[in-house]
Structure 1
Amino acid sequence: MRLPNWLTQHLAALRALLVFTVLLGLAYPLALVAAGQLPGLSGKSDGSLLTAGGKTVGSALIGQSFTDADGNPVPRYFQSRPSAAGDGYDPTATAASNLGPESVVDTLSTDPETASESLLTTVCARSKAVGELDGVDGRRPYCTNDGVGAVLAVFRTNGLTGAVTRVVSVNQTTPATPFVTSWQGVPVELATPDQDYVAEGALIVPVRGDAPAKPAVPADAVTASGSGLDPHISPAYAQLQVDRVARERGTDPAAVQRLVEQHTTGRALGFMGEPGVNVLALNLALDEQFPAR
Protein backbone atom coordinates (compact mmCIF):
# COMPACT_ATOMS: atom_id res chain seq x y z
CA MET A 1 0.00 0.00 0.00
CA ARG A 2 1.44 3.30 -1.02
CA LEU A 3 1.40 5.97 1.66
CA PRO A 4 -0.10 9.34 0.85
CA ASN A 5 2.40 11.91 -0.34
CA TRP A 6 1.82 14.22 2.63
CA LEU A 7 2.50 11.39 5.08
CA THR A 8 5.72 10.42 3.27
CA GLN A 9 6.98 13.96 3.55
CA HIS A 10 6.21 14.10 7.26
CA LEU A 11 7.98 10.79 7.92
CA ALA A 12 11.06 12.01 6.02
CA ALA A 13 11.07 15.19 8.07
CA LEU A 14 10.75 13.16 11.28
CA ARG A 15 13.70 10.92 10.31
CA ALA A 16 15.82 14.00 9.55
CA LEU A 17 14.83 15.51 12.91
CA LEU A 18 15.86 12.35 14.78
CA VAL A 19 19.20 12.06 12.92
CA PHE A 20 20.17 15.67 13.52
CA THR A 21 19.00 15.50 17.14
CA VAL A 22 21.36 12.58 17.75
CA LEU A 23 24.24 14.18 15.83
CA LEU A 24 23.97 17.78 16.97
CA GLY A 25 22.08 17.42 20.25
CA LEU A 26 24.00 14.47 21.69
CA ALA A 27 27.08 13.34 19.77
CA TYR A 28 28.52 16.79 19.05
CA PRO A 29 28.16 18.19 22.62
CA LEU A 30 29.54 14.97 24.12
CA ALA A 31 32.51 15.10 21.74
CA LEU A 32 33.27 18.67 22.84
CA VAL A 33 33.00 17.70 26.51
CA ALA A 34 35.38 14.80 25.91
CA ALA A 35 37.84 17.07 24.07
CA GLY A 36 37.68 19.51 26.95
CA GLN A 37 38.95 16.83 29.31
CA LEU A 38 42.16 16.26 27.36
CA PRO A 39 45.40 17.14 29.20
CA GLY A 40 46.09 20.86 28.86
CA LEU A 41 42.46 21.70 28.11
CA SER A 42 40.59 20.41 31.16
CA GLY A 43 41.37 23.44 33.34
CA LYS A 44 40.23 25.90 30.71
CA SER A 45 37.04 24.01 29.92
CA ASP A 46 36.14 23.94 33.60
CA GLY A 47 36.41 27.73 33.87
CA SER A 48 40.13 28.29 34.54
CA LEU A 49 39.43 28.04 38.26
CA LEU A 50 42.09 28.96 40.82
CA THR A 51 42.35 27.34 44.24
CA ALA A 52 43.98 28.16 47.57
CA GLY A 53 44.14 25.75 50.50
CA GLY A 54 42.06 23.26 48.55
CA LYS A 55 39.23 25.74 48.03
CA THR A 56 38.18 27.40 44.80
CA VAL A 57 38.72 31.13 45.17
CA GLY A 58 37.92 32.40 41.68
CA SER A 59 38.65 32.20 37.99
CA ALA A 60 41.70 33.41 36.12
CA LEU A 61 39.25 34.86 33.59
CA ILE A 62 37.27 37.11 35.98
CA GLY A 63 38.75 39.84 38.14
CA GLN A 64 38.13 40.45 41.82
CA SER A 65 38.30 43.42 44.16
CA PHE A 66 40.79 43.24 47.03
CA THR A 67 39.07 45.56 49.46
CA ASP A 68 37.77 45.43 53.03
CA ALA A 69 34.16 45.50 54.19
CA ASP A 70 34.06 49.29 53.75
CA GLY A 71 35.39 49.13 50.21
CA ASN A 72 38.88 50.37 51.11
CA PRO A 73 41.90 48.77 49.39
CA VAL A 74 43.71 46.11 51.42
CA PRO A 75 47.31 47.40 51.27
CA ARG A 76 49.04 43.99 51.30
CA TYR A 77 47.39 43.02 48.01
CA PHE A 78 47.83 44.25 44.47
CA GLN A 79 44.72 46.17 43.48
CA SER A 80 42.68 45.37 40.38
CA ARG A 81 41.45 47.93 37.89
CA PRO A 82 38.04 49.49 38.61
CA SER A 83 34.89 47.65 37.53
CA ALA A 84 31.50 48.97 36.40
CA ALA A 85 29.88 45.52 36.47
CA GLY A 86 27.24 45.67 39.20
CA ASP A 87 28.94 46.25 42.55
CA GLY A 88 32.22 45.25 40.89
CA TYR A 89 33.23 42.20 38.84
CA ASP A 90 29.69 40.80 38.87
CA PRO A 91 29.47 38.27 35.97
CA THR A 92 25.68 38.60 35.96
CA ALA A 93 25.90 42.37 35.39
CA THR A 94 28.84 42.70 33.01
CA ALA A 95 28.81 46.24 31.65
CA ALA A 96 30.73 49.45 31.14
CA SER A 97 29.77 52.86 32.52
CA ASN A 98 28.85 54.08 28.99
CA LEU A 99 30.35 57.48 29.85
CA GLY A 100 32.63 59.14 27.31
CA PRO A 101 35.16 61.98 27.11
CA GLU A 102 32.41 64.61 27.00
CA SER A 103 31.20 63.58 30.47
CA VAL A 104 32.89 66.37 32.45
CA VAL A 105 30.09 67.99 34.48
CA ASP A 106 28.78 66.32 37.64
CA THR A 107 25.07 66.25 38.40
CA LEU A 108 25.05 67.92 41.81
CA SER A 109 21.84 67.45 43.73
CA THR A 110 20.51 67.37 47.28
CA ASP A 111 18.74 64.14 46.26
CA PRO A 112 21.24 61.23 46.27
CA GLU A 113 19.07 59.40 43.73
CA THR A 114 19.56 62.21 41.23
CA ALA A 115 23.20 63.10 41.89
CA SER A 116 25.87 61.47 39.74
CA GLU A 117 29.55 61.88 38.93
CA SER A 118 30.92 62.65 35.51
CA LEU A 119 33.55 60.35 34.04
CA LEU A 120 36.12 63.11 34.53
CA THR A 121 35.45 63.41 38.26
CA THR A 122 35.45 59.62 38.65
CA VAL A 123 38.87 59.43 37.00
CA CYS A 124 40.19 62.35 39.07
CA ALA A 125 38.99 60.82 42.35
CA ARG A 126 40.45 57.42 41.53
CA SER A 127 43.79 58.90 40.49
CA LYS A 128 44.00 60.90 43.72
CA ALA A 129 43.19 57.79 45.79
CA VAL A 130 45.78 55.63 43.99
CA GLY A 131 48.37 58.36 44.41
CA GLU A 132 47.75 58.51 48.15
CA LEU A 133 47.77 54.72 48.53
CA ASP A 134 51.00 54.15 46.61
CA GLY A 135 52.83 57.36 47.47
CA VAL A 136 53.01 58.83 43.97
CA ASP A 137 51.79 62.00 42.30
CA GLY A 138 48.08 61.37 41.67
CA ARG A 139 47.49 64.60 39.73
CA ARG A 140 46.01 64.46 36.25
CA PRO A 141 45.25 67.13 33.64
CA TYR A 142 41.79 68.71 34.09
CA CYS A 143 41.56 67.58 37.72
CA THR A 144 41.43 69.69 40.88
CA ASN A 145 43.61 69.01 43.90
CA ASP A 146 40.57 67.70 45.78
CA GLY A 147 39.87 65.06 43.12
CA VAL A 148 37.04 66.38 40.94
CA GLY A 149 36.92 67.63 37.38
CA ALA A 150 38.44 71.10 36.96
CA VAL A 151 35.58 72.58 34.94
CA LEU A 152 34.20 76.11 34.83
CA ALA A 153 30.82 77.42 33.69
CA VAL A 154 31.61 80.77 32.09
CA PHE A 155 28.87 83.33 31.48
CA ARG A 156 29.44 86.10 28.91
CA THR A 157 27.43 89.19 28.01
CA ASN A 158 26.54 87.86 24.54
CA GLY A 159 26.31 84.14 25.15
CA LEU A 160 29.50 82.72 23.60
CA THR A 161 31.18 86.09 23.13
CA GLY A 162 31.57 89.32 25.05
CA ALA A 163 32.98 90.08 28.44
CA VAL A 164 32.92 87.46 31.19
CA THR A 165 30.27 88.31 33.77
CA ARG A 166 30.18 85.24 36.02
CA VAL A 167 32.26 82.06 36.53
CA VAL A 168 31.26 78.92 38.47
CA SER A 169 33.35 75.86 39.34
CA VAL A 170 30.60 73.42 38.41
CA ASN A 171 31.98 70.33 40.17
CA GLN A 172 32.79 71.95 43.52
CA THR A 173 30.36 72.85 46.27
CA THR A 174 30.64 74.22 49.80
CA PRO A 175 32.88 73.77 51.82
CA ALA A 176 35.43 73.31 49.00
CA THR A 177 37.72 76.09 47.80
CA PRO A 178 37.51 76.96 44.08
CA PHE A 179 40.48 75.45 42.27
CA VAL A 180 41.14 78.87 40.71
CA THR A 181 40.26 82.08 42.50
CA SER A 182 39.42 84.07 39.37
CA TRP A 183 38.97 83.65 35.61
CA GLN A 184 39.73 86.56 33.31
CA GLY A 185 39.43 88.90 36.24
CA VAL A 186 36.09 87.53 37.51
CA PRO A 187 35.94 85.74 40.90
CA VAL A 188 35.09 82.03 40.68
CA GLU A 189 32.04 80.82 42.62
CA LEU A 190 31.27 77.37 43.99
CA ALA A 191 28.41 75.47 42.37
CA THR A 192 24.91 75.31 43.84
CA PRO A 193 23.28 71.86 43.82
CA ASP A 194 20.24 71.31 41.56
CA GLN A 195 21.28 74.14 39.25
CA ASP A 196 21.84 73.59 35.50
CA TYR A 197 24.37 76.18 34.40
CA VAL A 198 24.39 74.95 30.80
CA ALA A 199 20.65 75.56 30.53
CA GLU A 200 21.28 79.06 31.86
CA GLY A 201 23.58 79.76 28.92
CA ALA A 202 27.02 79.11 30.40
CA LEU A 203 29.95 77.91 28.31
CA ILE A 204 31.64 74.83 29.82
CA VAL A 205 35.42 75.25 30.00
CA PRO A 206 37.67 72.41 31.27
CA VAL A 207 40.91 73.76 32.75
CA ARG A 208 44.04 71.69 32.24
CA GLY A 209 45.99 72.92 35.25
CA ASP A 210 49.67 72.22 35.96
CA ALA A 211 49.55 68.41 36.22
CA PRO A 212 52.25 66.49 34.32
CA ALA A 213 51.43 65.59 30.71
CA LYS A 214 52.06 61.91 31.52
CA PRO A 215 50.38 61.08 34.84
CA ALA A 216 52.20 58.81 37.28
CA VAL A 217 48.99 56.78 37.74
CA PRO A 218 48.32 54.62 34.63
CA ALA A 219 45.03 54.80 32.77
CA ASP A 220 43.94 51.26 33.72
CA ALA A 221 44.14 52.24 37.40
CA VAL A 222 41.37 54.82 36.93
CA THR A 223 39.15 53.40 34.18
CA ALA A 224 37.09 50.21 33.97
CA SER A 225 37.30 47.71 31.14
CA GLY A 226 34.46 47.38 28.63
CA SER A 227 33.19 44.17 30.25
CA GLY A 228 33.91 45.20 33.83
CA LEU A 229 35.41 41.72 34.35
CA ASP A 230 38.99 42.13 33.12
CA PRO A 231 41.28 40.21 35.52
CA HIS A 232 44.46 41.93 34.31
CA ILE A 233 46.24 45.19 35.03
CA SER A 234 49.07 46.72 33.05
CA PRO A 235 52.68 46.01 34.07
CA ALA A 236 52.98 49.75 34.74
CA TYR A 237 50.17 49.66 37.32
CA ALA A 238 51.63 46.52 38.89
CA GLN A 239 55.04 48.19 39.12
CA LEU A 240 53.46 51.17 40.86
CA GLN A 241 52.23 48.86 43.65
CA VAL A 242 55.37 46.76 44.23
CA ASP A 243 56.91 48.88 46.98
CA ARG A 244 53.67 49.14 48.95
CA VAL A 245 52.96 45.39 48.79
CA ALA A 246 56.55 44.53 49.73
CA ARG A 247 56.44 46.93 52.68
CA GLU A 248 53.14 45.53 53.96
CA ARG A 249 54.44 41.97 53.72
CA GLY A 250 57.86 42.77 55.16
CA THR A 251 59.80 41.46 52.18
CA ASP A 252 62.22 42.64 49.51
CA PRO A 253 60.63 44.62 46.63
CA ALA A 254 62.89 42.72 44.21
CA ALA A 255 61.25 39.43 45.27
CA VAL A 256 57.78 40.89 44.72
CA GLN A 257 58.93 42.24 41.35
CA ARG A 258 60.01 38.76 40.30
CA LEU A 259 56.53 37.45 41.11
CA VAL A 260 55.01 40.21 38.99
CA GLU A 261 57.21 39.23 36.07
CA GLN A 262 56.24 35.57 36.47
CA HIS A 263 52.56 36.47 36.25
CA THR A 264 52.88 38.85 33.31
CA THR A 265 51.55 37.59 29.99
CA GLY A 266 52.56 38.99 26.62
CA ARG A 267 50.47 40.06 23.64
CA ALA A 268 48.15 37.42 22.18
CA LEU A 269 49.83 35.75 19.18
CA GLY A 270 52.68 38.16 19.73
CA PHE A 271 50.95 41.24 18.35
CA MET A 272 47.38 41.59 19.64
CA GLY A 273 46.53 43.58 22.76
CA GLU A 274 48.96 44.61 25.48
CA PRO A 275 50.92 42.71 28.16
CA GLY A 276 48.93 42.14 31.35
CA VAL A 277 49.32 40.94 34.93
CA ASN A 278 46.68 38.58 36.35
CA VAL A 279 45.91 40.13 39.74
CA LEU A 280 44.18 37.15 41.38
CA ALA A 281 46.92 34.70 40.38
CA LEU A 282 49.58 37.17 41.55
CA ASN A 283 47.93 37.74 44.93
CA LEU A 284 47.55 33.99 45.48
CA ALA A 285 51.26 33.57 44.79
CA LEU A 286 51.99 36.37 47.26
CA ASP A 287 49.97 34.67 49.99
CA GLU A 288 51.82 31.43 49.34
CA GLN A 289 55.37 32.85 49.29
CA PHE A 290 55.02 35.89 51.56
CA PRO A 291 52.07 35.32 53.90
CA ALA A 292 50.81 38.38 55.76
CA ARG A 293 52.27 38.76 59.24
Structure 2
Amino acid sequence: MRLPTWLAQHLAALRALVVLTIVLGLAYPLLMVAVARIPGLSGHADGSLVARDGKHVGSALIGQSFTDAQGNPLKQYFQSRPSAAGKGYDPTSTSASNLGPENIVDQPGKPSLLTQVCGRSKAIGEFEHVDGARPYCTPGGVGAVLAVYPDHAVSVNEACPATPFITRYEGRPVECAKPGENYSTGVTTPVRGNAPARPAVPADAVTASASGLDPDISVAYADLQIPRVAAARGLSQAQVRRLVQEHTDGRTLGFVGEPAVNVLELNLALDRS
Protein backbone atom coordinates (compact mmCIF):
# COMPACT_ATOMS: atom_id res chain seq x y z
CA MET A 1 0.00 0.00 0.00
CA ARG A 2 1.41 3.30 -1.04
CA LEU A 3 1.50 5.96 1.67
CA PRO A 4 0.14 9.42 1.00
CA THR A 5 2.82 11.84 -0.19
CA TRP A 6 2.58 14.09 2.88
CA LEU A 7 2.97 11.10 5.23
CA ALA A 8 5.94 9.70 3.29
CA GLN A 9 7.67 13.07 3.48
CA HIS A 10 7.11 13.33 7.22
CA LEU A 11 8.45 9.80 7.80
CA ALA A 12 11.54 10.57 5.71
CA ALA A 13 12.14 13.71 7.72
CA LEU A 14 11.71 11.76 10.98
CA ARG A 15 14.24 9.12 9.83
CA ALA A 16 16.74 11.86 8.92
CA LEU A 17 16.21 13.47 12.31
CA VAL A 18 16.85 10.20 14.16
CA VAL A 19 19.95 9.35 12.11
CA LEU A 20 21.48 12.83 12.42
CA THR A 21 20.72 12.92 16.15
CA ILE A 22 22.53 9.63 16.68
CA VAL A 23 25.49 10.51 14.45
CA LEU A 24 25.99 14.20 15.30
CA GLY A 25 24.36 14.40 18.72
CA LEU A 26 25.77 11.21 20.26
CA ALA A 27 28.42 9.41 18.22
CA TYR A 28 30.45 12.46 17.17
CA PRO A 29 30.62 14.10 20.65
CA LEU A 30 31.56 10.75 22.22
CA LEU A 31 34.26 10.29 19.59
CA MET A 32 35.67 13.74 20.36
CA VAL A 33 35.68 12.97 24.09
CA ALA A 34 37.50 9.71 23.40
CA VAL A 35 40.09 11.48 21.23
CA ALA A 36 40.59 14.10 23.95
CA ARG A 37 41.44 11.33 26.42
CA ILE A 38 44.33 10.06 24.29
CA PRO A 39 47.63 10.37 26.21
CA GLY A 40 49.39 13.52 25.08
CA LEU A 41 46.13 15.27 24.19
CA SER A 42 44.25 15.08 27.49
CA GLY A 43 46.21 17.94 29.05
CA HIS A 44 45.29 20.28 26.21
CA ALA A 45 41.65 19.15 26.37
CA ASP A 46 41.54 19.95 30.09
CA GLY A 47 42.76 23.49 29.50
CA SER A 48 46.55 23.08 29.68
CA LEU A 49 46.41 23.60 33.44
CA VAL A 50 49.64 24.36 35.28
CA ALA A 51 50.16 23.03 38.81
CA ARG A 52 52.48 23.90 41.66
CA ASP A 53 52.76 21.70 44.75
CA GLY A 54 49.80 19.68 43.48
CA LYS A 55 47.55 22.74 43.16
CA HIS A 56 46.41 24.29 39.89
CA VAL A 57 47.67 27.86 39.64
CA GLY A 58 46.60 28.75 36.12
CA SER A 59 46.62 27.75 32.49
CA ALA A 60 49.48 27.91 30.03
CA LEU A 61 46.94 29.26 27.51
CA ILE A 62 45.53 32.13 29.60
CA GLY A 63 47.59 34.98 31.00
CA GLN A 64 47.24 36.43 34.46
CA SER A 65 48.41 39.41 36.45
CA PHE A 66 51.26 39.28 38.95
CA THR A 67 50.32 42.11 41.30
CA ASP A 68 49.70 42.75 44.98
CA ALA A 69 46.32 43.38 46.60
CA GLN A 70 46.44 47.03 45.49
CA GLY A 71 47.17 46.08 41.89
CA ASN A 72 50.82 47.11 42.01
CA PRO A 73 53.21 44.92 39.97
CA LEU A 74 55.38 42.58 42.02
CA LYS A 75 59.07 43.23 41.40
CA GLN A 76 60.09 39.58 41.76
CA TYR A 77 57.86 38.44 38.90
CA PHE A 78 57.81 39.03 35.17
CA GLN A 79 54.80 41.09 34.23
CA SER A 80 52.25 40.16 31.57
CA ARG A 81 50.96 42.47 28.87
CA PRO A 82 47.81 44.56 29.53
CA SER A 83 44.41 42.88 29.27
CA ALA A 84 41.04 44.31 28.21
CA ALA A 85 39.14 41.16 29.22
CA GLY A 86 36.89 42.12 32.13
CA LYS A 87 39.04 43.30 35.04
CA GLY A 88 41.99 41.59 33.40
CA TYR A 89 42.47 38.10 31.93
CA ASP A 90 38.86 37.12 32.60
CA PRO A 91 38.12 34.14 30.30
CA THR A 92 34.38 34.79 30.63
CA SER A 93 34.82 38.31 29.24
CA THR A 94 37.43 37.79 26.55
CA SER A 95 37.55 40.90 24.39
CA ALA A 96 39.64 43.75 23.05
CA SER A 97 39.17 47.43 23.81
CA ASN A 98 37.92 48.03 20.23
CA LEU A 99 39.89 51.29 20.20
CA GLY A 100 41.82 51.99 17.02
CA PRO A 101 44.89 54.05 16.12
CA GLU A 102 42.75 57.12 15.41
CA ASN A 103 41.45 57.16 18.99
CA ILE A 104 43.76 59.92 20.23
CA VAL A 105 41.53 62.47 22.00
CA ASP A 106 40.47 61.81 25.59
CA GLN A 107 36.81 61.97 26.57
CA PRO A 108 35.53 62.71 30.10
CA GLY A 109 36.27 59.63 32.19
CA LYS A 110 37.45 57.73 29.11
CA PRO A 111 41.11 58.09 28.13
CA SER A 112 41.94 57.55 24.49
CA LEU A 113 43.95 54.56 23.31
CA LEU A 114 46.91 56.89 22.76
CA THR A 115 46.77 58.19 26.32
CA GLN A 116 46.44 54.64 27.68
CA VAL A 117 49.56 53.62 25.77
CA CYS A 118 51.43 56.74 26.88
CA GLY A 119 50.48 56.22 30.53
CA ARG A 120 51.48 52.57 30.49
CA SER A 121 54.78 53.34 28.80
CA LYS A 122 55.62 56.03 31.35
CA ALA A 123 54.72 53.72 34.28
CA ILE A 124 56.74 50.81 32.88
CA GLY A 125 59.70 53.10 32.21
CA GLU A 126 59.69 54.20 35.85
CA PHE A 127 59.23 50.63 37.10
CA GLU A 128 62.04 49.21 34.95
CA HIS A 129 64.30 52.29 35.22
CA VAL A 130 64.37 52.90 31.47
CA ASP A 131 63.19 55.71 29.24
CA GLY A 132 59.42 55.33 28.91
CA ALA A 133 59.10 58.03 26.24
CA ARG A 134 57.45 57.19 22.95
CA PRO A 135 56.31 59.20 19.91
CA TYR A 136 53.13 61.27 20.26
CA CYS A 137 53.24 61.12 24.06
CA THR A 138 53.80 63.99 26.50
CA PRO A 139 56.34 63.69 29.33
CA GLY A 140 53.34 63.47 31.67
CA GLY A 141 52.08 60.32 29.99
CA VAL A 142 49.11 61.46 27.88
CA GLY A 143 48.61 61.80 24.15
CA ALA A 144 50.46 64.77 22.68
CA VAL A 145 47.57 66.06 20.60
CA LEU A 146 46.66 69.62 19.67
CA ALA A 147 43.50 71.22 18.37
CA VAL A 148 45.00 73.82 16.04
CA TYR A 149 43.21 77.13 15.27
CA PRO A 150 44.40 80.07 13.12
CA ASP A 151 45.69 82.06 16.09
CA HIS A 152 46.29 79.47 18.84
CA ALA A 153 46.38 75.76 19.67
CA VAL A 154 44.98 73.71 22.54
CA SER A 155 46.59 70.63 24.13
CA VAL A 156 43.32 68.69 24.22
CA ASN A 157 44.50 65.91 26.56
CA GLU A 158 45.98 68.26 29.18
CA ALA A 159 43.20 69.86 31.21
CA CYS A 160 43.75 73.22 32.87
CA PRO A 161 45.57 74.18 35.02
CA ALA A 162 48.13 71.79 33.52
CA THR A 163 51.07 73.31 31.69
CA PRO A 164 50.99 72.21 28.02
CA PHE A 165 53.82 69.98 26.85
CA ILE A 166 54.90 72.69 24.38
CA THR A 167 54.46 76.45 24.64
CA ARG A 168 54.16 77.23 20.93
CA TYR A 169 53.23 75.30 17.77
CA GLU A 170 54.15 76.75 14.38
CA GLY A 171 54.13 80.25 15.87
CA ARG A 172 50.84 79.80 17.74
CA PRO A 173 50.65 79.89 21.54
CA VAL A 174 49.50 76.60 23.07
CA GLU A 175 46.88 76.55 25.82
CA CYS A 176 45.66 73.86 28.20
CA ALA A 177 42.19 72.41 27.60
CA LYS A 178 39.31 73.95 29.51
CA PRO A 179 37.08 71.20 30.97
CA GLY A 180 33.78 70.89 29.11
CA GLU A 181 34.95 72.82 26.06
CA ASN A 182 34.43 71.35 22.58
CA TYR A 183 37.59 71.52 20.49
CA SER A 184 36.32 69.52 17.51
CA THR A 185 36.34 72.67 15.36
CA GLY A 186 40.13 72.78 15.53
CA VAL A 187 42.42 70.68 13.35
CA THR A 188 43.31 67.63 15.46
CA THR A 189 47.09 67.32 15.21
CA PRO A 190 49.24 64.69 16.97
CA VAL A 191 52.75 65.93 17.75
CA ARG A 192 55.55 63.40 17.44
CA GLY A 193 58.05 65.09 19.76
CA ASN A 194 61.68 63.99 20.12
CA ALA A 195 61.11 60.47 21.50
CA PRO A 196 63.21 57.72 19.88
CA ALA A 197 61.69 55.97 16.88
CA ARG A 198 62.29 52.65 18.66
CA PRO A 199 61.04 53.10 22.25
CA ALA A 200 62.75 51.26 25.08
CA VAL A 201 59.36 49.89 26.17
CA PRO A 202 58.11 47.32 23.57
CA ALA A 203 54.69 47.63 21.97
CA ASP A 204 53.28 44.47 23.59
CA ALA A 205 54.03 45.94 27.03
CA VAL A 206 51.58 48.79 26.46
CA THR A 207 48.86 47.21 24.29
CA ALA A 208 46.37 44.43 25.02
CA SER A 209 45.94 41.43 22.74
CA ALA A 210 42.77 40.94 20.71
CA SER A 211 41.51 38.27 23.11
CA GLY A 212 42.75 39.93 26.29
CA LEU A 213 44.01 36.50 27.37
CA ASP A 214 47.46 36.29 25.74
CA PRO A 215 49.73 34.30 28.11
CA ASP A 216 52.93 35.32 26.31
CA ILE A 217 55.12 38.37 26.04
CA SER A 218 57.76 39.22 23.48
CA VAL A 219 61.39 38.35 24.04
CA ALA A 220 62.12 42.10 24.04
CA TYR A 221 59.70 42.73 26.92
CA ALA A 222 61.14 39.78 28.85
CA ASP A 223 64.68 41.09 28.32
CA LEU A 224 63.60 44.50 29.61
CA GLN A 225 62.43 42.94 32.88
CA ILE A 226 65.49 40.75 33.56
CA PRO A 227 67.52 43.32 35.59
CA ARG A 228 64.59 44.12 37.89
CA VAL A 229 63.62 40.47 38.50
CA ALA A 230 67.24 39.43 39.08
CA ALA A 231 67.77 42.21 41.62
CA ALA A 232 64.51 41.45 43.45
CA ARG A 233 65.40 37.75 43.76
CA GLY A 234 69.09 38.10 44.44
CA LEU A 235 69.99 36.20 41.29
CA SER A 236 72.44 37.05 38.55
CA GLN A 237 71.06 38.40 35.30
CA ALA A 238 72.68 35.44 33.53
CA GLN A 239 70.65 33.01 35.66
CA VAL A 240 67.40 34.79 34.92
CA ARG A 241 68.23 35.14 31.23
CA ARG A 242 68.85 31.40 31.02
CA LEU A 243 65.38 30.73 32.44
CA VAL A 244 63.88 33.15 29.93
CA GLN A 245 65.56 31.29 27.09
CA GLU A 246 64.31 27.94 28.42
CA HIS A 247 60.72 29.23 28.40
CA THR A 248 60.85 30.92 25.00
CA ASP A 249 58.80 29.29 22.25
CA GLY A 250 60.06 29.70 18.70
CA ARG A 251 58.06 30.66 15.65
CA THR A 252 55.21 28.32 14.71
CA LEU A 253 56.40 25.90 12.02
CA GLY A 254 59.68 27.76 12.12
CA PHE A 255 58.49 30.87 10.27
CA VAL A 256 55.02 31.98 11.49
CA GLY A 257 54.85 34.73 14.10
CA GLU A 258 57.56 35.76 16.54
CA PRO A 259 59.24 33.97 19.47
CA ALA A 260 57.31 34.41 22.72
CA VAL A 261 57.82 33.84 26.43
CA ASN A 262 55.12 32.19 28.57
CA VAL A 263 54.93 34.40 31.67
CA LEU A 264 53.23 31.95 34.06
CA GLU A 265 55.61 29.10 33.31
CA LEU A 266 58.61 31.42 33.58
CA ASN A 267 57.51 32.81 36.94
CA LEU A 268 56.92 29.29 38.30
CA ALA A 269 60.42 28.33 37.15
CA LEU A 270 61.77 31.36 39.01
CA ASP A 271 60.00 30.25 42.18
CA ARG A 272 61.64 26.84 41.86
CA SER A 273 65.13 28.24 41.29
Normalising by structure 2, report the TM-score. 0.94
Give 1:177 deviation, angstroms. 2.1
Give 1:175 deviation, angstroms. 4.3
For the pair 1:131 / 2:128, whether they are aligned, the reply is: no
Pairing partner for 1:173 from 159, 176, 183? 159
Map 1:85-96 onto structure 2 (within 5 A). 85-96=85-96
Structure 2 counterpart of 1:10, which letter? Answer: H
For the pair 1:54 / 2:54, whether they are aligned, the reply is: yes
Map 1:236-275 onto structure 2 (within 5 A). 236-275=220-259
Q: Matches of 1:148 and 1:7 in 2, distance apart?
A: 72
Match of 2:67 in 1: 67
Contact 2:84–2:95 (Cα < 8 Å) also in 1:
yes
Give 1:146 deviation, angstroms. 0.8
Q: Matches of 2:141 and 2:257 in 1, distance apart?
A: 30
Map 1:69-108 onto structure 2 (within 5 A). 69-107=69-107
Any unmatched runs of 5+ in structure 2? Answer: none
Match of 1:221 in 2: 205
Structure 1 counterpart of 2:137, which letter? Answer: C
Q: Matches of 1:25 and 1:119 in 2, distance apart?
A: 45
Match of 2:176 in 1: 190
Pairing partner for 2:116 from 111, 118, 122? 122
Q: Matches of 1:251 and 1:174 in 2, distance apart?
A: 46
Query: Percent identity over the alignment?
Result: 67
Match of 1:17 in 2: 17
Secondary structure of 2:61's counterpart equals: coil
Match of 1:148 in 2: 142
Secondary structure of 2:158's counterpart equals: coil
Structure 1 counterpart of 2:260, which letter? Answer: G
Secondary structure of 2:175's counterpart equals: strand
Q: Please, which moves more after superposition, 65-74 or 222-231?
A: 65-74
Structure 2 counterpart of 1:121, which letter? Answer: T
Q: Matches of 1:203 and 1:6 in 2, distance apart?
A: 70
Normalising by structure 1, report the TM-score. 0.88
Q: CA RMSD in A?
A: 1.6
Give 1:257 deviation, angstroms. 0.9
Match of 1:288 in 2: 272
Q: 1:2 to 1:245 in 2, by over 3 A?
A: same
Q: How many residue pairs were aligned?
A: 273
Any unmatched runs of 5+ in structure 1? Answer: 110-114, 157-164
